Structure 1
């Protein structure tokens, strides 16, 4: 009789032990250890890389447009001002520079494909695009042509362009503030101004 009483307890112990083993086994299978994949590591590295988009990017003037009135870029100006008589044409040389700047010690450049546009604007110059844009308007009376209309600049490659200004439908004494704007495909903007005052002698009738 003593042997018969021991057997049920042994069976119960075996059953409980078996259940614990199965539960432990199923838990370990459902939560296996997964090493970090190469894709996850590479994406985290990309996130940690410093971006060239700094505060004010696209809002503040990149200041990489320069002018001169000679065939060689020996004397570069950020702005020009001169007198022109009616019915006259002048060509202004332009240079667009892949200007360097840094973001958290990372070397960056204003580069990429660029589109040129010409506008008339206000006498109050600003390096804020929000302010300047609100003052820009279509070129009228005076004629302004930029060639080429598009270009590309990169770290070791600047670009030249030409601005042809004609005073065909103007009046003596008028002042024109011509804004030359460069729009980079990456969102940066640059602008510079040419002031033209129409000068000459008034025709008198006899």
Structure 2
């Protein structure tokens, strides 16, 4: 039994720490797109209300966290989180997201990667790293309001929405709900990652074998 188990250990280490292959990059791109689509689908629903729009990331991160966890388990290599996040940042930019959003996604993916490296890619680093990514994404999208202040309302009107809607977004950012939403968003993203780990263990364990 000991002799049979010994040769497998280096193989697993190579899988976790080896260089990314072309197949890995394709998987990262595809599932990065899927993660982004899940978040955007939730955003479309939540955007109808100024009271709900900034909770988009908390709600969307639960199903998106399952997708992300599968991806990180499927490609357990250094750089995987950053590349997948970069794909999402590019998509956001191409789709017309305000520049602070893609910057938040990119910064979050870099921090996610650092969390996973510091934790030696232990299982807990997947949900925690994902939560860091989502909070940075969330903050990036509302940072424009913090920078622009009341001028943001004029930007909203130019985009074809009402001044009341824009003012509602500004008022929300400066309300007590702001720090509460940050904490809830982090917790919800962790929950999504934990659910992903449970689902992965039950249905996809053979992939890591």
In our comparison, the structure showing a higher alpha carbon Rg is: 1
Establish whether TM, by shorter chain, passes 0.5: no
Indicate the structure with greater strand content.
1
Q: Could you say which structure has the higher helix fraction? A: 2
Normalising by structure 1, we get a TM-score of 0.31
